[in-house]
Structure 1
Amino acid sequence: MTIATYSAHQQDFPAARWRAEFPLLQRSVRGQPLAYLDNAATTQKPQAVIDAEARYYREINANIHRGVHWLSEQATAAHEGARERVRRFLNAREAAEIIFVRGTTEAINLVAQSYGRANLGPGDEVLITGLEHHSNIVPWQMVCAQTGATLKVATLDDTGSVRMDEFRRLLGARTRLVAVAHVSNALGTVNPVREMIDLAHAQGVPVLVDGAQAVAHTPVDVQALDCDFYAFSGHKLYAPTGIGALYGRRALLDAMPPWQGGGDMIRTVSFEGSTWNDLPYKFEAGTPHIAGAIGLGAAIEYLGEVGLEAVAAYEHELLIYGTALLQEIPGLRMIGTAAHKAGILSFVIDGLHAHDIGTVLDTEGVAIRAGHHCAMPVMEHFGVPATARASLAFYNTREDLDRLAQALRRAVEMFVR
């Protein structure tokens, strides 16, 4: 699809209305209106989320679960109400399958150190893909070193898609766990996760899905996917930082030992030994990020008003529009051209380092990301040290992408020609 034939569907999506509800997007940066295109790193927060978190501190601030006074009861109800919102958001079977964590990274480490250390041994294998964020590589390297297991990697083709023939070949008799990204943060590639899960389950292998880059852009149903674990971060979902969730199949969570010890994850404690609390509290040691959980619940409720199916359609059209714009810039090469992509535009420009691109764009009020995006193996695969990455959200507009393209043209004229 060319720019000229770009669909008029986006005119039906009220992006300007939603954008007005994000206070930070109303400000100027370096004397220019802000074009925020770094959403894969973190999203901005709507007023509804800011208000929900502030309301907790202003009206019901108290510790949860153990208090018998009114404030504690109210805070507990709000916290557990947020858990129920996450359950519905992912369509988990029960709230006990939702564990609050700091984010995707902590969720993956929890599974690696709890499920992995209990179930892996010498000669066993963990299978990941060449698309993964460091957070879905390093925890498995660590647990493999601890247990004697081996990490296997299904590599990529020239478009940035996983070679499924290699994935099938590596999924063998020694595979004990598969861990894959739903969407690549560096390229936007959408993995065929349902197919991967079906292949793994056919051999009795559980699957963890890193959903950090998926949940804000498309509906996710963990029962329909049939995954065993699903992890995501709130701050990429218009929610506060320092909060996220891990979905786990109850049978697996019940069998897994706790990862961290302390308050709330115990049933009894003595110097001779301790016993553990019920799910999900067995994996929630210490005082949780109560305000963050409430903010996450508010973000999910807000996204429900926007409509994730409408978001997915709108962002896809922005992706098509932005791709066409960037392909017209001299010397620009897109990195990651998979047939199935989410709203990420990753690119390099001949004669310009990615960090220089990001710096020049910043002077124009255009915020993007430049670097390896915590995906060094992806950069190595494409033979580049870094890429510039513009990533989309439903509050972005064609005008944001026009400004991106204009700033890139100026950068090329200034530093390359």
Structure 2
Amino acid sequence: MRAVSVEALAGAIRAGDKVFVSGSAGEPIAVTELLATTPELAAGAEFYCSFIPGVNPRNLANENRRMTVGFMQGGFRKSLAAGHVRFAPMSYTATLQHLCSDGVINTVLVQVSPPDSDGYCSLGLQGEFLPQLLSRKPRVLAVLNPNVPVLAGSPKLAMADIEAYCESDLPLATYDPGKPNAVAQAIAEHVAALIPNGAALQCGLGKIPNQLMAALADHRQLRIHSGMASDGIVSLLDAGALDLDATVTSIVALGSNAFYRRLPEFKKLNICGVEACHSAQVLAQVPKLFAVNSSMELDLFGQANAEMLGGRFVSGPGGLPDFAAGARAQHDGCSIIALPAADPSGEQSRIVTQLGSGVPVSVPQYLVDMVVTEYGSAYLRGADMVTRAERLVAIAHPNHRDRLYTEFEQRFLV
């Protein structure tokens, strides 16, 4: 291994390299910022980035290099049209399978802690695709950052496996769900009423998951098995709602700096790879799994679109399909889609009669057990087509209920 400058580390990425770069709090910002602002660097390289909308906005693609992403963002749209960005919407298990296929990735750019006395660096807040990719012994370029927390339950990387590294003390990427609002609070309270004591929770990012954690303060013996751990789990800890004997499992920890400082309090925190969190085999061993996710819209069959809004891709499926399938497969689990009934004006219903032509189905109807809006919850597991539509209309925005059911009758019941 050798120590180099940030510029030299970015310059070590060669034409023909196929480079994986983590997003979330694991983004090596010292290098990605340089790549995003210096087009001539890494000419001829291809990047695969697990960048998260609202957290990792840097575009590494230009006329000299390509970038593949699993989540679309507004800042990537022009590059998508120019053919510099490639959008590959897949579940996390499918993404891992692809990345670990022969010839897809030959280099990993990673951010880690400085080495310990045994010569090992912690991946800190990031597992995701890295454990499996690193086990394939790719070329490794690293940013050593003292802000990466050394957590007992995080993956490690030997300094001896790093070809070159630079040092940086830039702050880690953070996430702020924004101020609570009344609609998200009503949804959170409806969801909380569905979750029993002793459940294992999976939640994503956003206002609803964040407010849900506060709404669960009176629950007990809750467990966390999720693709994302964020500030909300601290509120569960403080409320005494967590089962302290259970492992908190997640592939990523992402939130505020205050959240990062409190992570050592979770004595059984396990930051792991997708293979140890999202696979069907693993999820089958997580009893009473309640998966709570959101979507852009949902139709009267129960099909959820979590990727496209207003005719444009704004996200990707991520771990949603994996957890929806895992929770739905359990007799005592539950796959929940929680979303506002309409846009803030009330004019655009987010429950629609049928998803439009070309709109992706992120979660099929048979993997959705419950749908929750601020107007209540609709139980869909085992329900026939008409009953599903009636229950979903009942929790739609009042401005749209009559129209939705009339359209449903005209399209599907004649």
Q: TM-score, normalised by structure 2?
A: 0.31
Instruction: Report which of the two has the higher share of helix.
Output: 1
Q: TM-score, normalised by structure 1?
A: 0.31
